[in-house]
Structure 1
Amino acid sequence: MSLKTTSTDRARPGDSRMRVGAKDVARLAGVSTATVSRVMNSPEQVDPDTRRRVTEAAARLRYVPHGAARSLRSHRSKMIGAVIPSFDYALYARTTSALQQRLDERGYSLVLAEHHYDLGAELRVAGQLMEHGVDALVFVGLDHDPNLFGLLDDYGRPYVLTWGVDPYRRHPSVGFDNHAATYEMTRHLLALGHTRFGLLSAPVDGNDRARARGAGMRAALAEAGLQLDESRVAYAPISLAAAQAGMERLLALPSPPTALVATNDVFAVGAMMACRQAGVRIPQDISITGVDNTDLGATQTPGLTSIRTPIIEIGVAAADQLIARLEGREHQDFQSFPIEIIHRGSTGKPAAG
């Protein structure tokens, strides 16, 4: 690829009206700004033809990388970036706290950002963190914009996905089997004698955890020769008020469920609130289950039957993996932690008839 220079391509020395940046070099060379950064800081990682195009463009534009920026990219910043769906969800906060504590023990700092379940925003924020020199990144879940992994590769940044384990083993990940969580819980409810089920879940677009948990429930029902009636499915944002409203819709059905699988404890407790207000007894009239075994569910009356998930273990393991990779030590790219049902008073046999 040849490079063409126009009258605006060259900046005169000392001309304050034109400040040439990496974007200008990238545009002239036909590459990304991340590639320009790699050529300037780690040229051995770039193929010779691309390296030649970038250095030629830089020479023609008389581009001089900012010294502080080059230092930031060529030396360890000891900063790890974490991009999570929402700061409002307490479980992500607990995992992130465990991550931060482990990083702090090893002399690393944590930089946080959120994307509100918008994968395009996640891509943009991750790029900004890398521009500011984070050494590695942590993400939640398995659903991501495909361009994210290309960007990470361009910058040469290690990363780990959390709250799920990549079944295709393409991306380093730490978590548990979300499908198995609701599969096992549904089998528990089936064993009690329930046949009329409801599902209260977060929207599944861009949320592989919600999608897998709904699929786990449906798989267990299918094995029992049952099918989930889609009229008994309610999707809502993760909040008690939204969960309560969703459960109110299910209770208003001509034939409401006798067993509800909620994809997290927030949904389950919101559902319990709706039942109390409507005079529906738990578990005599309806059994309700959650996922994550939080204090919120454990302190209800009756206590919530829920799945214990490795909320703290995920944060610690993600930190350990990234530190080991940055320091060139042996590590596990894929870690799946066990889950278990915690039985409490919110589940029982369905009422006769």
Structure 2
Amino acid sequence: MHPPESTPAPEAANSREGRPRTGAKDVAQLAGVSTATVSRALNNPESVDPVTRQRVLDAVAKLRYMPHGAARSLRSQRSKMVGAVVPSFDYALYARTTSALQQRLDARGYSLVLAETHYDPGAELRVASQLAQHGVDAFVFVGLDHDPTLFALLEDYGRPYVLTWGVDPMCRHPSVGFDNEAATHAMARHLIELGHRRFGLLSAPVAGNDRARARGAGLRAALVEAGLKLDEGCVQYAPISLQSAQEAMTRILDQPEPPTALVATNDVFAVGAMLACRAAGVRIPEDISITGVDNTDLGATQSPGLTSIRTPIVEIGDAAAAQIIARLEDRPCELFQSFPIEIVHRGSTAPPNPKRKYQP
């Protein structure tokens, strides 16, 4: 990792102590409820009917309300706790990144608090608010797609944060990651150079998932540059699991003209695709080339081994922790870090076979 450059922290990371703060009475008045209902909606939301709760949340967002007691506590002392909010505990890569994050934080005397959101922006906002009210000093989030209200919340609390697994191209939000679009673009170029002209894409749903969206865009851009087109019948979106990937790949193989090359947006999808091919008698790479992203042991230990993009899984967690620690301790740091990626070539890719045996 390059030596940190001295970069002023963005406005969102600075304290807002000088600004008059909105009170619970203001929120109650705007929402047309009592202050007790405001308290229940924020602290015990299941006890308030959804319509009323939404009115309170809308008022909170409009007035950018923060509970006074929590704000005073946060201004007066540090908890030495950092919150890591991830989409899912089920995805092993987030666990590896979080482990690296925890190790660097622990070495400096900070504790890590974990929460998951199941790819729900509303849940992410709620969890972040609860953690902030309980005194968490800083936050680490996954990806670049977040409800704008989240950043307003962090600004009001004056809490530093860093986004991971991507780098904000507009440099609005501190971020650590890599170019997701460039990763699959490079992989698609490799397959095109091997001679492939008919492609498939296996991806996570793109709503609220900038990583999936960027990786799909990388494939599409490479195909356009080569004068090729992606058949939408050979595009499948699925939850990140081997079973879902296998089922999605089966649908691709059932197309009238199945692809000769598949770009999967992570190794779980790629290995699930391999399982589907084996079940259907489709040979890899003789009948189809398959590629992944992240270069995990799951893909490396397949037969044949999976050609995949090595991504900075551990480096992201370590760098995110280093940035958070520096900002909490008022030291200079690099706010935007993009790590390199590379293709790891294995046996799952080869030139297309004009005599391939598989036919749907």
TM-score normalised per structure 2: 0.81
Residue 321 of structure 2 is matched in structure 1 by 319
CA distance in 1, matches of 2:131, 2:115: 9
Q: Among 296, 305, 308, which residue is 2:307 paired with?
A: 305
Q: Quick one: which amino acid aligns to residue 317 of structure 2?
A: G
Q: Report if aligned partners of 2:245, 2:272 keep a CA contact under 8 Å in 1.
A: yes
Residue 185 of structure 2 is matched in structure 1 by 183
Measured after TM superposition, the shift of residue 348 of structure 1 is 0.1
Q: Report if aligned partners of 2:261, 2:289 keep a CA contact under 8 Å in 1.
A: yes
Cα deviation code 1:187-236 (max 9, x no counterpart): 00000000000000000000000000000000000000011111100000
- Over 3 Å counting, the alpha-carbon distance change for 1:309 and 1:21 in structure 2 is closer
SS for the counterpart of 2:221 is helix
CA distance in 2, matches of 1:156, 1:143: 20
Question: What is the correspondence of 1:273-292 to structure 2 with a 5 Å cutoff?
Answer: 273-292=275-294
Question: What is the correspondence of 1:175-214 to structure 2 with a 5 Å cutoff?
Answer: 175-214=177-216
Residue 66 of structure 2 is matched in structure 1 by 34
Q: Report if aligned partners of 1:197, 1:260 keep a CA contact under 8 Å in 2.
A: yes
Residue 342 of structure 2 is matched in structure 1 by 340
Cα deviation code 1:122-179 (max 9, x no counterpart): 0110000000000000000000001000000010000000000000000000000000
Q: Report if aligned partners of 2:143, 2:165 keep a CA contact under 8 Å in 1.
A: yes
Q: Report if aligned partners of 1:164, 1:174 keep a CA contact under 8 Å in 2.
A: yes
Cα deviation code 1:17-70 (max 9, x no counterpart): x9x9899xxx9xx955416358x63xxxxxxxxxxxxxxxxxxxxxxxxxxxx3
CA distance in 1, matches of 2:351, 2:225: 20
Q: Does 1:248 align with 2:250?
A: yes
CA distance in 1, matches of 2:63, 2:284: 61
TM-score normalised per structure 1: 0.83
CA distance in 2, matches of 1:230, 1:21: 49
Q: Report if aligned partners of 2:64, 2:153 keep a CA contact under 8 Å in 1.
A: no
Residue 157 of structure 1 is matched in structure 2 by 159
CA distance in 2, matches of 1:162, 1:236: 22
Q: Quick one: which amino acid aligns to residue 280 of structure 1?
A: V
CA distance in 2, matches of 1:21, 1:306: 50
Q: Report if aligned partners of 1:73, 1:133 keep a CA contact under 8 Å in 2.
A: no
Measured after TM superposition, the shift of residue 273 of structure 1 is 0.4
SS for the counterpart of 1:293 is coil
Q: Report if aligned partners of 1:161, 1:174 keep a CA contact under 8 Å in 2.
A: yes
Residue 101 of structure 2 is matched in structure 1 by 99
SS for the counterpart of 2:227 is coil
CA distance in 2, matches of 1:31, 1:305: 51
Measured after TM superposition, the shift of residue 258 of structure 1 is 0.4
Q: Quick one: which amino acid aligns to residue 36 of structure 1?
A: H
Q: Among 207, 232, 237, which residue is 1:230 paired with?
A: 232
CA distance in 1, matches of 2:239, 2:127: 22
CA distance in 1, matches of 2:166, 2:180: 7
Larger Rg, first or second structure (1 or 2): 1
Measured after TM superposition, the shift of residue 334 of structure 1 is 0.1
Q: Report if aligned partners of 1:272, 1:288 keep a CA contact under 8 Å in 2.
A: yes
CA distance in 2, matches of 1:127, 1:219: 38
SS for the counterpart of 2:353 is coil
Q: Report if aligned partners of 1:35, 1:154 keep a CA contact under 8 Å in 2.
A: no
Q: Quick one: which amino acid aligns to residue 94 of structure 2?
A: Y
Residue 113 of structure 1 is matched in structure 2 by 115
Structure 1's consecutive aligned runs of 4 or more residues displaced over 6 angstroms after TM superposition are 20-23
Measured after TM superposition, the shift of residue 352 of structure 1 is 1.4
Question: What is the correspondence of 1:263-274 to structure 2 with a 5 Å cutoff?
Answer: 263-274=265-276
Q: Report if aligned partners of 1:84, 1:114 keep a CA contact under 8 Å in 2.
A: yes
Residue 45 of structure 1 is matched in structure 2 by none
Q: Report if aligned partners of 1:174, 1:314 keep a CA contact under 8 Å in 2.
A: yes
Measured after TM superposition, the shift of residue 73 of structure 1 is 4.8
Q: Report if aligned partners of 2:267, 2:299 keep a CA contact under 8 Å in 1.
A: yes
CA distance in 1, matches of 2:254, 2:261: 15
Aligned residues: 304
Q: Among 272, 296, 299, which residue is 2:298 paired with?
A: 296
Q: Report if aligned partners of 2:138, 2:161 keep a CA contact under 8 Å in 1.
A: yes
Q: Among 119, 134, 156, which residue is 1:132 paired with?
A: 134
Q: Quick one: which amino acid aligns to residue 151 of structure 2?
A: F
Q: Report if aligned partners of 1:35, 1:155 keep a CA contact under 8 Å in 2.
A: no
Q: Quick one: which amino acid aligns to residue 68 of structure 2?
A: V
- Over 3 Å counting, the alpha-carbon distance change for 1:316 and 1:105 in structure 2 is same
Percent of aligned pairs with the same amino acid = 75
Coordinate RMSD, CA, aligned = 2.2
User: Which one scores higher on RCO, CA 8 angstroms, separation ≥ 6?
Assistant: 2
CA distance in 2, matches of 1:332, 1:84: 22
Question: What is the correspondence of 1:18-33 to structure 2 with a 5 Å cutoff?
Answer: 31-33=63-65
CA distance in 1, matches of 2:138, 2:69: 16
- Over 3 Å counting, the alpha-carbon distance change for 1:285 and 1:35 in structure 2 is same
Cα deviation code 1:294-319 (max 9, x no counterpart): 00000000000000000000000000
